[in-house]
Amino acid sequence: MNFTTDATEGAAELLFGWLDSCFFILMLVLSTAIGVYFGFWGKKEDSPEEYLLAGKSMSTLPVAVSLVASLVSGITVMGDPSEIYTYGTLYWLACFCAPPVGVLNNYLYLPVFYELQITSVYEYLQLRFNRSVRVMASVLCTIGMLFYIPIVMYVPALALSQVSGLNIHYITPIICIICIFYTMLGGIKAVIWTDFLQGVVMVVASLVVIVLGLIHVGGFSPVWEKSIEGQRIKIFEMSLSPFERMTFWSVLVGGTSGWLGMLSVNQGMVQKFLSLPTYSKAQKSLVFLVLGTLLIKCITCFMGLIIYATYYDCDPLESKAISRSDQLLAYYVMDIASAIPGLPGLFMAGIFSASLSTMSSTLNSLGATLFEDFVRPCLNIKISDKTSNNIIKLLVIIIGAICVVMVFFVDKVGGIVQLAMSMSGVSSGASFGLFTFGMFYPRGNSKGALVGSVVSLLGMGWIVFGAQMAYSDGTIKYPKLPTSTEGCGFNITLPEPIVTEVPPEEAFVLFRITFMYYTLMGFAMMIIVGMIVGLFTESPNVEELNPTLFSPVVRKYVLRKKQKYEMKIIDGKKVLYMTPSE
pLDDT digits (tens, 9 = 90+) for 370-419: 887 888 888 777 787 778 878 888 888 888 888 888 877 766 554 444 54
* Residue 317 or residue 474, greater confidence: 317
The share of the chain scoring above pLDDT 70, in percent, equals 84
Question: 399: part of which helix (H) or strand (E)?
Answer: helix 385-410
User: What is the pTM for the complete model shown?
Assistant: 0.83
pLDDT digits (tens, 9 = 90+) for 431-446: 999 999 999 999 999 9
Per-residue pLDDT at 309: 94
Where do the domains of the chain lie?
Answer: 51-414, 549-582
Q: How many CB atoms lie within 10 A of CB 389?
A: 22
Phi then psi for residue 165, to 5 deg, are 80, 5
Per-residue pLDDT at 452: 95
Q: How many CB atoms lie within 10 A of CB 382?
A: 7
What mean pLDDT comes out for the span 162-185?
78
What mean pLDDT comes out for the span 343-365?
76
pLDDT digits (tens, 9 = 90+) for 515-537: 889 999 999 999 999 999 999 99
Per-residue pLDDT at 12: 44
Q: Give all strands (DSSP E) within 88-167, no chain letters.
A: none
* Residue 407 or residue 223, greater confidence: 223
Give the DSSP letter string of 220-285: HHHHHHHHHHTT----------TTSS--HHIIIIIHHHHHHHHHHS-HHHHHHHHTSSSHHHHHHH
Per-residue pLDDT at 417: 45
pLDDT category of residue 54 using cuts at 50, 70 and 90: low
Taking the C-alpha atoms of residue 172 and residue 480, their distance in angstroms, rounded to an integer, is: 31
User: Which range scores top for mean pLDDT: 55-64, 114-123, 139-148, 237-246?
Assistant: 237-246
Q: Give all strands (DSSP E) within 360-459, no chain letters.
A: none
User: Is it the case that residue 129 has pLDDT exceeding 50?
Assistant: yes
Per-residue pLDDT at 549: 92
Give the DSSP letter string of 542-573: GGGS-GGGS-HHHIIIII----EEEEEEETTE
The radius of gyration of the chain from alpha carbons, rounded to an integer in Å, stands at: 24
Per-residue pLDDT at 46: 55
pLDDT digits (tens, 9 = 90+) for 270-298: 888 888 888 899 999 999 999 988 988 89
Taking the C-alpha atoms of residue 466 and residue 426, their distance in angstroms, rounded to an integer, is: 13
Per-residue pLDDT at 6: 43
Q: SS3 letters for 327-369?
A: HHHHHHHHHHHCCCCCHHHHHHHHHHHHHHHHHHHHHHHHHHH
pLDDT category of residue 89 using cuts at 50, 70 and 90: very high
Taking the C-alpha atoms of residue 461 and residue 436, their distance in angstroms, rounded to an integer, is: 20
Contact 64, 72 (CB under 8 A): no
pLDDT digits (tens, 9 = 90+) for 249-268: 999 999 999 889 888 998 87
pLDDT category of residue 2 using cuts at 50, 70 and 90: very low
User: Is it the case that residue 580 has pLDDT exceeding 70?
Assistant: no
Per-residue pLDDT at 52: 56
Q: How many CB atoms lie within 10 A of CB 528?
A: 14
pLDDT digits (tens, 9 = 90+) for 541-577: 877 788 899 999 999 888 775 445 555 554 455 555 4
User: Is it the case that residue 78 has pLDDT exceeding 70?
Assistant: yes
Contact 273, 110 (CB under 8 A): yes
Average pLDDT for the chain: 80
* Residue 424 or residue 24, greater confidence: 24
Q: 10-22 burial, b for 16+ CB within 10 Å, e for fewer?
A: bbeebebeeebbe
The share of the chain scoring above pLDDT 90, in percent, equals 27
Q: Which amino acid is at 181?
A: F
Per-residue pLDDT at 176: 81
pLDDT category of residue 579 using cuts at 50, 70 and 90: low
At the topology level of CATH, where does 51-414 sit?
Answer: Sodium/glucose cotransporter (1.20.1730)
The region, left, alpha or beta by phi > 0 then psi within -120 to 50, assigned to residue 187 is left
Per-residue pLDDT at 161: 78
